[in-house]
Amino acid sequence: MEEKILDMAVIGAGPAGLTAAIYGARGGLETAVFAGPAAGGQLLQTMDIENFPGFPNPISGFDLMTKVINQAKRLGASIISEDVKDISVCCSPFKIKAGGAEYSAKTVVIATGAQAKWLGLPSEAKLTGKGVSGCATCDGFFYKGKEVCVIGGGDTAAEDALFLTKFAGKVYLVHRRDQLRAAYILQQKLKSNPKIEIIYDHVADDFLGSDKLEAVVIKNVKTNGKRTLQTPGAFIAIGHTPNTELFKGKIKMDDEGYILVNDKYETSVAGIYAAGDVCDRVYKQAIVAAGSGCMASMNAIKYLEMK
Ligand code: NAP
């Protein structure tokens, strides 16, 4: 295997990882980002971003991340379009296996983000990709003029429901409580959209259909009464799980798998930092991810200077 020595290996290419790379490269470090096949992270699935400073008009996640990728490249960071298959953290330099090559890195920034959670119903798994989806931006287009439903009550569910009204004739937003968790401005938009019906106090009980989704059975959590929504599209938007499988048993995590960091974004292993949603249980915002990527990277630069 070919071996390359890096000052900084960034794992993950969302706002956190790419910002870490920008600061690493600008700090004079030989920096590479392991980006997987599609650099950009979760924002690639967001249509309109209107809360990232510097963009007075909404910008799509794809356009924003394309700019950030180009910025990181212009400053000298290499983007490696491979997933990391393994990492050894026992001793420095750390060893990273990706795309048939082994790399050594003096510092690592883990910025692998998070991914959508599923409800865990057998019928959900059976019909995933056949009408049940975790990505409204990816699959919404298929439901022109149809009735669809979104499960969840947070910002993602609200944004998904609003996005789906661009295509669907009607969108049911099914939430398990009598109050949404989504931000106030999103709630206002939901309530003023005539295509959206919010169904409170209900959970998804079953997804019906043999080879494609035909209906979703929802259950009232207060009365146990059931209702069937005839819909070919159901979008699950109930939160996220951190992408930390690769680091289990190597880096300390909390009970939900979020990487534990201190106020310098240092993990339990000296020289390894984490940033963004992989260590953020609370904010999960692109701007926060970018900020933590910056801080992790600046601290990694200092760590190398002290060595
Ligand atoms: P979230 O805030 O954790 O909300 C998840 C929602 O799904 C909650 O309403 C929750 O209900 C519900 N839920 C969880 N498990 C469920 C289950 N098993 N069955 C039924 N419902 C379930 O997740 P998110 O909406 O993906 O947002 C994650 C983070 O990203 C948040 O910090 C959010 O602010 C941020 N975000 C921001 C933007 C933006 O600013 N534009 C966009 C998207 C996401 P309960 O309310 O009862 O807990």
- Closest residue to atom 7 of ligand 1, CA basis: 238
For the residues 194-198, what does the mean pLDDT come to?
98
Task: Of 45-49, 89-93, 105-109, 166-170, give the lowest mean pLDDT range.
Answer: 45-49
pLDDT digits (tens, 9 = 90+) for 277-294: 999 988 888 999 999 999
Superfamily of domain 118-236: FAD/NAD(P)-binding domain (3.50.50.60)
Most confident of 14-18, 115-119, 238-242: 14-18
Q: Is-contact 116 298, C-beta < 8 A? A: no
Q: Would you state the pLDDT for residue 1?
A: 52
DSSP structure string for the chain: --EEEEEEEEE--SHHHHHHHHHHHHTT--EEEE--SSTTGGGGG-S-B-SSTT-SS-B-HHHHHHHHHHHHHHTT-EEE---EEEEE-SSSSEEEEETTEEEEEEEEEE---EEE-----HHHHHHBTTTEES-HHHHGGGGTT-EEEEE--SHHHHHHHHHHTTT-SEEEEE-SSSS--S-HHHHHHHHT-TTEEEE-SEEEEEEE-SSS--EEEEEETTT--EEEEE-SEEEE-S-EEE--GGGTTTS-B-TTSPBP--TT-B-SSTTEEE-GGGG-SS---HHHHHHHHHHHHHHHHHHHHH-
Q: Is CATH 3.40.50.2300 what the domain over 3-115+240-305 is classified as, yes or no? A: no
Task: Of 22-31, 122-131, 264-273, give the lowest mean pLDDT range.
Answer: 122-131
| For the chain, percent of residues with pLDDT exceeding 70 | 99
Selecting among 63, 86, 138, 254, the annotated active-site residue is 138
Task: Of 18-27, 57-66, 296-305, give the lowest mean pLDDT range.
Answer: 57-66
Mean confidence (pLDDT) of the chain: 95
Name the pLDDT band for 307 (thresholds 50, 70, 90): confident
Please tell me which residue, 168 or 61, carries the higher pLDDT value: 168
Q: Among this protein's residues, is 135 annotated catalytic?
A: yes
Ligand 1 centroid vs 281 CA: distance in angstroms?
A: 11
Q: Would you state the pLDDT for residue 129?
A: 86
- Closest residue to atom 33 of ligand 1, CA basis: 155
Selecting among 48, 83, 135, 294, the annotated active-site residue is 135
Name the pLDDT band for 2 (thresholds 50, 70, 90): low
Residues touching ligand 1 (Cβ under 6 Å) are 51, 119, 151-157, 159, 176-177, 181, 203, 237-240, 283-285
- Closest residue to atom 16 of ligand 1, CA basis: 238
| Residue 4 reports pLDDT greater than 70 | no
For the residues 242-260, what does the mean pLDDT come to?
97
Q: Would you state the pLDDT for residue 216?
A: 98
pLDDT digits (tens, 9 = 90+) for 130-144: 999 988 987 898 899
Ligand 1 centroid vs 233 CA: distance in angstroms?
A: 19
Query: Which residue in 66, 67, 62, 109 sits closest to 84, CA to CA?
Result: 109
Q: Among this protein's residues, is 139 annotated catalytic?
A: yes
Domain with CATH 3.50.50.60 in the chain: 3-115+240-305, 118-236
Single pTM value for the model: 0.82
